[in-house]
Structure 1
Amino acid sequence: MFQPCIFPFALVLTMPLLLGGCLTIREQPPIEPDPFNTPEYQAQKGLAVIKASRLYARGGTGQGVTVALIDSGLNTDLPEFEGRVFDPGFDHVENRPGTHDRVGHGTQMAGILAANKDEQGMHGIAFNAQLIPYRFGDDNEPFFFDDEIALSWQDGFDKGARILSNSWANAIPATEITEARYNQVMPKSLVTARKLVKDGAVMVFPTGNELKREPLAEPGLPVALPELEKGWIAVVALKNDGSAINAKSNYCGVAAAWCIAVPGGDSGAGQGLLTTGKDGKHVQTAGTSPATALVSGALAALQSRYPHLNAQQIREHLLATTNRTGIYANSEAYGRGLMDLDAASRTPPKVQVY
């Protein structure tokens, strides 16, 4: 005859075991560690917010994808960029192939984008991608260097880059830009941008760091020239934890339809995103510039996940898979929402064929 098992209450609490056939606790399978959640990954605080490790686990590391970096150059001999330079690019300041980064901005952006995964400091979001660096103008206004920018875009495209990272913008508000006015300011760049977008390029720009509700000229340019939109992304910068726009960033504003939000570092000592300095040391940076580099690298990493898609199809898919819940539903501020690389790498792309 079956006899019920009776145990003192305390014994039941302290013995989650097989007890005379009366209590069975199924053994749970071990939780698989995330091989990409390394100290380097954690040191680059923006990566976890946009769930980059899920993209890496699905093969999206930037392998085989080239990005043109139009900035203050790149010190290519640093260990963080060993094997990451597809072509030496061009230095328009010194008028020679290869670049020297005097101010350090371009090297910092390159670190955010593609610094090596080498167990040192941090790594770029697309740590297997390739770069083509260009130097123009250093600290001066971009409109003084229209020729150099246009030449850099075209040369990068001719050498295989379909993603062009531009962590700069002219200070004219996008709401004041017309085709005629931009043609006065950046005539050669305008011609080149139209041509390259038609041929499949994607241009990435920051909304700017003026704490305004509208972006600057370049990120908002498709307002005046709608044919550019299919090859355009504007980027707004969030705090490190993604909880709100950071203390520098302009809103997406009129660029909301092609704007995306990612961490761009917080203001204050030690509060920025970790990246590579011009001398090889790791430094902090904050603003819409590093946010732009983060998105450019994300496009490269995602394209290596979906190599059958072109750059503009990747752009469309990235914008279609953002997180638009909670605060990110405010399109004036956050555009299409928070970049979500888990969703982008998990959801089969539904894209148009251009």
Structure 2
Amino acid sequence: MPRCSLFSLQRLMVFSLPWLLLGCATAPVPTSTEPDTRRFETPEYLAQKALPIVNASSVYARGGTGQGVSVALIDSGLNHSLPEFYGRVADPGYDFVRQQQGTVDIKGHGTQMAGILAANKNDQGIHGIAFNAQLIPMRFGDDKEPFYFDSEIAQAWNLAYAKGARIFSNSWANPIEANTNEVSIYERLMGDSLEVAKNLVAAGSVFVFSTGNEVKREPLAEPGLPALVPELEKGWIAVMALKSDGTAINLKSNYCGLAARWCIAVPGGDGGAGLLTTNKDGSYGPTAGTSPAAALVSGALAALQSRFPEMTPQQVRERLLSTANRTGIYADSEAYGRGLMDLDAASRR
């Protein structure tokens, strides 16, 4: 017990009773308002190297795990029978190659992106950045590149929206460099899908695209589209890829270029040392480039949406972009757009 002089006791009498009960030499201990992120930084979390770089544990500690949010996976399909996706599929989606409900994933790309986005937190392998989000998979393109499948893309976007998706993950882009002077290119590539994109953005949706893997200073066609169609910008994000440790652009990624205002930087892996994710056979393996980077941002939007359910998806998009880290190398907007995604800053009230 602290020892008190008579003088100190007399002085204490002027204070209220609650202060007397604290004792003579004690003081209130301040409590931290910072969330406890450590309980989320498990081996499963650390195995997905991108998650610590973007401070994902901070949004989890504040309640943002993707719960109740559906994301459209517009890709090569999904092997939804894997344990990593138990409970993670809101709707079986549609296979525009086989023209039937549900999808297969022969190529495996879609399943890899789904792992980055929403694989289960189950102490196995890795977990997705939004491990409680729901996926709506759409398969298009017959697993071929380039992606000249305009009608299928338009139908996939419309159908996913009808099934509840407001975030659209597109880990692909047509291999033509964005150019504001080439209106005919977009008319040829997006005869149907451009009108759908306009309608869905006007209705509040957000589209995420990879900038492409050609090591160019400009993004590919779709991620740069708002430069030609300004009304899309409020619902558009382009994503460039950093090395796994976030220190520089990776070996593949295109710059943000003309998409700088709506572009963000996240880890996308380095060659053979890519980001760990789910393979179509249930194993785990690396994937690298702007594709996993786009899936990571799509999942981040879902995590933030569950953190801020009162916000619209487009308000969440603006928060994600406006809170990005623009210090050091990330101040170069031509390369890194709005900067390095920071889910600690984005998830603060």
TM-score by shorter chain over 0.5: yes
The CA distance in 2 between the partners of 1:142 and 1:113, in whole Å, is: 23
Q: 1:215 aligns with which of 198, 204, 219?
A: 219
The CA distance in 1 between the partners of 2:287 and 2:229, in whole Å, is: 32
Q: Who is 2:170 aligned against?
A: 166
RMSD: 1.8
Q: CA deviation at 1:186?
A: 1.5
Does the CA contact (< 8 Å) of 2:330 and 2:336 recur in 1? yes
Q: Who is 1:339 aligned against?
A: 341
Q: Deviations over 1:199-229 (max 9, x none)?
A: 1110000000001111000000001101100
Q: 1:300 aligns with which of 296, 299, 302?
A: 302
* 1:107 lines up with 2:111 in the alignment: yes
Does the CA contact (< 8 Å) of 1:103 and 1:138 recur in 2? no
Q: Deviations over 1:290-345 (max 9, x none)?
A: 00000000000000000000110100010000000000000000000000000000
* 1:77 lines up with 2:81 in the alignment: yes
TM-score normalised to the size of structure 2?
A: 0.89
Q: Who is 1:248 aligned against?
A: 252
Amino acid at match of 2:90: F
Q: 1:205 aligns with which of 209, 220, 232?
A: 209
Mark the runs of 5 or more structure 1 residues left unpaired by the alignment. Answer: 1-26, 349-354
Does the CA contact (< 8 Å) of 1:179 and 1:225 recur in 2? no
The CA distance in 2 between the partners of 1:319 and 1:125, in whole Å, is: 17
Q: Who is 1:17 aligned against?
A: none
Report which stretch shifted further, 133-142 or 282-291. 133-142
Query: Equivalent residue of 2:223, what SS?
Result: coil
* 1:121 lines up with 2:101 in the alignment: no
TM-score normalised to the size of structure 1?
A: 0.87
Q: CA deviation at 1:87?
A: 0.2
Q: Who is 1:156 aligned against?
A: 160
The CA distance in 2 between the partners of 1:291 and 1:138, in whole Å, is: 23
Does the CA contact (< 8 Å) of 2:158 and 2:196 recur in 1? yes
Q: Who is 2:289 aligned against?
A: 287
The CA distance in 1 between the partners of 2:80 and 2:212, in whole Å, is: 27
The CA distance in 1 between the partners of 2:291 and 2:86, in whole Å, is: 23
The CA distance in 1 between the partners of 2:56 and 2:347, in whole Å, is: 9
Give the total of aligned pairs: 319
Q: Deviations over 1:41-96 (max 9, x none)?
A: 00000000000000000000000000000000000111000000000000011110
The CA distance in 2 between the partners of 1:341 and 1:185, in whole Å, is: 34
Relative to 1, partners in 2 of residues 1:33 and 1:228: Cα closer, same or farther, differing over 3 Å? closer
